[in-house]
Structure 1
């Protein structure tokens, strides 16, 4: 069942050290408290729980991303060291379902763009944006867009893109949702020609 490792040993070490540093470093004063305060260990348990929940979420989104990129359950299972069936049972259907198209509340019309992959989603959003649709939600294999009276542009950046998200927001980009690992999505209304 095992497969050839895709990460070098030093990459594995950097990931493990990065996760440990994040768990120890995020709560204010936690590392120092462990030297003298028994309650610091309870904070460590809580911080580690949050870290485990987040890495579990990232793994689910990474698996859905691999599936959206066209990889089979068999391939995903081999990477995880489990059978195809075990991978599928654990990770299939763990993303939010696309919302139904249209509206029942009298609000703007909504449409679900699906099936999409990491390779064609931005082209689909560019086309929808030109037609006045803007991104309001997303998940594995889909984007939900909402109608408006003007065109939009969309972009995505990796969650690890440092301060780029602050620059985008300073340029008028609006973050949509909290991100879908490894991406963060943005939108902004296009200015009419002559108002640039």
Structure 2
């Protein structure tokens, strides 16, 4: 990690303002209710709690992603303003288990954001269907057909509907910052 900040002050401000805007804007009429309704402040506490839980979850997943990309606990700890040991104690995966399945299941591991799509492409061509994933791994099961896979950012609005219209099926519910999709090879929907 270099001594250069990874986010500019403007980027940091945009993130903070975006989170505040989401917390204030998601509950219908919350901002207006703060002017006249004491219950509005309780709704603000509930909305802020939901935002804090989600940002905490995202931080955990982002740290797992950084580890999967090969970054050390020391580097991550410095970025978070804590020691290597404190970062590892707080964010290390706690005995994650791979879902059980048939004897025709394989676990592709260790994977990173940089090599997972190549591994999935190869597995799909070899008739392995993606059925699950987690930090550093993808679970695939034997299939009678070839598969293709896509990884897309979670934040792209409307992407899921477009992909489903093109015959893609989402695998799981997303793994920040990505969603994973699969479809049988050569099954694209032709739009005329």
* Corresponding residue SS for 2:138: strand
Q: Distance in 2 between matches of 1:121 and 1:37?
A: 51
Call closer, same or farther: CA 1:95–1:8 in 2, change over 3 Å: farther
- Conserved? CA contact 1:98–1:143, under 8 Å: no
- Runs of 4+ off more than 3 Å: none
Deviations, residues 135-178 of structure 1 (Å, cap 9, x unaligned) = 12111100111222111111101112233332212111111111
**Structure ranking higher on relative contact order (CA contacts 8 Å, 6+ apart):** 1
Q: 1:124-135 counterparts in 2 under 5 A?
A: 124-135=119-130
1:170 aligns with 2:155: no
1:47 aligns with 2:57: no
Tell me the CA shift for residue 99 of structure 1: 2.9
1:120 aligns with 2:119: no
1:32 aligns with 2:27: no
Q: Distance in 1 between matches of 2:41 and 2:94?
A: 32
Deviations, residues 82-130 of structure 1 (Å, cap 9, x unaligned) = 1111110100015843235x527xxxx3221111111110011111111
Runs (5+) with no aligned partner, structure 2: none
The number of residue pairs the alignment matches comes to 187
Q: Distance in 2 between matches of 1:120 and 1:94?
A: 24
CA RMSD of aligned residues (A): 1.9
Alignment match, 2:146 = 151
Q: 1:10-159 counterparts in 2 under 5 A?
A: 10-94=10-94, 96-100=96-100, 102-103=101-102, 109-159=104-154
Call closer, same or farther: CA 1:176–1:73 in 2, change over 3 Å: same
Q: Distance in 2 between matches of 1:128 and 1:79?
A: 35
Q: Please report the TM-score for the alignment, with normalisation by the length of structure 2.
A: 0.90
Runs (5+) with no aligned partner, structure 1: none
Q: Distance in 1 between matches of 2:29 and 2:128?
A: 46
Q: Distance in 2 between matches of 1:178 and 1:35?
A: 37
Q: Distance in 1 between matches of 2:24 and 2:95?
A: 29
